[in-house]
Structure 1
């Protein structure tokens, strides 16, 4: 608040001094106008009558002598001291105007530039910030360079003083475009431009997002505009650097402008992220369904019941597991532990035709796969007496 009050007080003082200078200038102009009007009035007075010679004596010849009219006095031109006063007053008014504009500009806290080494991104960012501020404040062209150089510091300020000293004095004041060329030439030489062009040709998206890739891509083009020919060329270079799967998705549309390519790449990336999110949610829900209290899983089979006879497998393909002992290489009728056990489920107390597990696991006729064509050799056939083997002959 105190700083704001000081700025307001300073601006009021500047305005009062400007009013005083304007009053002095107005008085001087009025005096000059009065002098010119007086001179014009005197020039319109009639000429003095011609003087006659004294009358001669009677009889003598009379000779008239005309006296030339006296020319009217002319107004003297403005003195050198008056012109000097006018110039001094105009210069003071201009200085007051420039000071007021500079104070207004500095209130917005423009960024300072103090780099002493080559750093293209830093000088580009500073120039962009200054041009944005110039546009917002409607800064006239003649004030841009003085305002910008007021924000230079340290090594950059030394560079500017050297540039002013070496510049011929008979040249007109430096304008903003010339200042930018000088600054980019000092902080962004041709060697750095060649490095950026080489980096641009090898630029790829990699593991970054499309937005991050576009930011670096556009930054290089801003620093080296001639790296692309036009907007279509810019779109083509951007498309080449995308990830392969995004490139394939966007390339099918055959887009021509950079904005269209960038927008489609963002949509492709967004769609892929959505698919991954849905997949992760589905996998998480499946994992939760399998978990049970105590670390047991619902998909685990009970160890108290021996495995059922695999009736859904193809007939006669590979060795089957015995439902009684669980070993391979023989069937239930050949098992040594078959005494008193069901040939279907391996449990005691009933036979296979009365087995309840068989009734619930036997597929319907419509869903039971047809047996393969007879190739000779042993085949397995279900019957009412359980599962047994016999040699089937072709009829």
Structure 2
């Protein structure tokens, strides 16, 4: 694995993605090595931010979870996470393609684990967000699994496109 440098960003998804990419590597490391590795990968503005943030922190006792909390306070704030939860709770397909809707839905699940970790609630929330014509076609099959509902939604969308093309 080739860990990427982090130079700072105004995009919280880039910051969150960087942390998640590190955690894949960190599964095989001791906790104390994790934040040191992350600090090594901070560059440019992020490195300057850390120089200020580390004052008053005992790096001998700092854990990975504590580092993530400090990092998120800067790059993925509680306000942003709260906004993303609200967006997920009101997510509707409208004019999005199924691919775009599924991408937003899956990303949103990350911020609302009460829905994401409950298969019934996740499936219901997905159904509720679909545009009516696709919602109807998916419910006709009555899928019981999220992935099956997604597959059915793709098929329903394709069928609608084909019918529009014929008209």
Same fold judged by TM-score > 0.5?
yes
Q: Which has the larger radius of gyration?
A: 1
Map Cα deviations across residues 239-297 of structure 1 (whole Å, 9 max, x no partner).
111111110111233333322221211121233334445x26xxxxxxxxxxxxxxxxx
* CA root-mean-square deviation: 2.5
Question: Out of 32, 40, 62, which is 1:150 matched to?
Answer: 40
The equivalent of 1:124 in structure 2 is: 16
C-alpha distance 157-220 of structure 1, shift in aligned 2 (>3 A): same
Structure 2: which 5+ runs fail to align? none
Q: 1:192 aligns with which of 64, 71, 80?
A: 80
Q: Count how many residue pairs are aligned between Structure 1 and Structure 2.
A: 166
More helix per residue? 2
- Post-superposition Cα deviations, 1:6-58, rounded to whole Å, max 9, x if no partner, equal xxxxxxxxxxxxxxxxxxxxxxxxxxxxxxxxxxxxxxxxxxxxxxxxxxxxx
Instruction: Tell me which of the two structures has the higher relative contact order, counting C-alpha pairs closer than 8 angstroms and 6 or more residues apart.
Output: 2
Cα 1:116–1:213 shift into 2, 3 Å: closer
Query: Among 47, 52, 58, which residue is 1:162 paired with?
Result: 52
Q: Deviations over 1:294-344 (max 9, x none)?
A: xxxxxxxxxxxxxxxxxxxxxxxxxxxxxxxxxxxxxxxxxxxxxxxxxxx
CA contact (8 A) 1:197 1:227 kept: no
Q: Can you list the C-alpha shifts for 1:70-89, whole angstroms capped at 9, x where unaligned? A: xxxxxxxxxxxxxxxxxxxx
Q: Distance in 2 between matches of 1:129 and 1:190?
A: 21
2:2 aligned with 1:112: no
Alignment partners' CA distance in 2, 1:232 and 1:182:
34
Report 1:32-43 matches (<5 A): none
1:205 equivalent in alignment to 2:93: yes
Aligned equivalent of 2:67, options 166, 179, 185: 179
Q: Aligned equivalents of 1:245 and 1:174: distance in 2?
A: 53
Residue 129 (structure 1) shift = 1.9
Unaligned runs of 5+ in 1: 1-104, 281-395
Q: Is the 8 A contact 1:205 1:242 kept in 2?
A: yes
1:1-395 → structure 2 map (5 Å cutoff): 108=2, 110-115=3-8, 117=10, 119-135=11-27, 138-168=28-58, 172-222=60-110, 224-226=111-113, 228=115, 230-277=118-165, 279=166
Q: Normalised by the size of structure 2, how large is the TM-score?
A: 0.82
Q: Aligned partners of 2:119, 2:98: CA distance in 1, in Å?
A: 18
Map Cα deviations across residues 53-110 of structure 1 (whole Å, 9 max, x no partner).
xxxxxxxxxxxxxxxxxxxxxxxxxxxxxxxxxxxxxxxxxxxxxxxxxxxx7xx3x2
**1:185, 1:244 → 2: CA distance?**
39
